[in-house]
Amino acid sequence: MPRYALLVEYNGAPFSGWQRQNEQSSVQGAIEAALAKLEAGPHKIAAAGRTDAGVHATGQVAHCDLTRDWEPFRLSEALNFHLKPSPVAIAACAVVADDWHARFDARKRHYVFRIISRRAPLTFEKGQMWRVNRPLDAGAMQKGADYLIGLHDFTTFRSTLCQAKSPVKTLNELRIEQINHANGIEYRFHVLARSFLHNQVRSFVGSLERVGSGAWSPEDVKTALEARNRAACGPVSPPDGLYLAGVTYPSNPFGT
């Protein structure tokens, strides 16, 4: 039974999240339904990360097992045909070893969060970024972000619904990029770690936005971290601007 790795893009707005749920639309459910059009199921796929409702992906990775040998390009084309009109696309496909696992073999996960500062409502990118009405201080936000890098107890930045066994994680990178557009200022938060707690990235961004707006000082992020108390966290950002942008493996299954 051959195993295939899938590089998946999706707009998370119409979905309840990645994970299959009864009577709710999910990205996993959409792909499994497309697989069932190619081979009799049931199908159960695994992914590198379970994104929440409204969260997008440009670099999600999943794997599936099929009974017949498919040429990877033809499999991706067939899946994309049956995925229409859902906003989900298989950007690449590759044959992998029978014991290769999209989740357990992953070494790093890269998330990107996008904030746009502008007064006007968003049109083309509505639902793709978090819009704020005022410019943010990117330098102050970066100073606050620097306190979060490294090995820490991230209880403050962890949802009360998180099922992880431990709140201790290593954050490898939290870098803030400012991009000046003609129609607004975009702030991109690049966040890299082996694994994340539930709502961790959105909790980071919501707290750092407070720093950028002047409501918090950069040192307030350090105080919140050291409190190890969810009540010390700033407002959790909306899901609109969050993307699973990439997953790193010991060897790239897609060969690029």
Q: Which of 52, 65, 137, 153 is catalytic?
A: 52
What's the per-residue H, E or C state across the chain?
CCEEEEEEEECCCCCCECCCECCECCHHHHHHHHHHHHCCCCCCCEECCCCECCCEEEEEEEEEECCCCCCHHHHHHHHHHHHCCCCEEEEEEEEECCCCCCCCCCCEEEEEEEEEECCCCCCCCCCCCEEECCCCCHHHHHHHHHCCCEEEECHHHCCCCCCCCCCEEEEEEEEEEEEEECCEEEEEEEEEECCCCCCHHHHHHHHHHHHHHCCCCHHHHHHHHHHCCHHHCCCCCCHHHEEEEEEECCCCCCCC
Verify whether residue 52 is a known catalytic residue.
yes
List, by residue number, the catalytic residues: 52
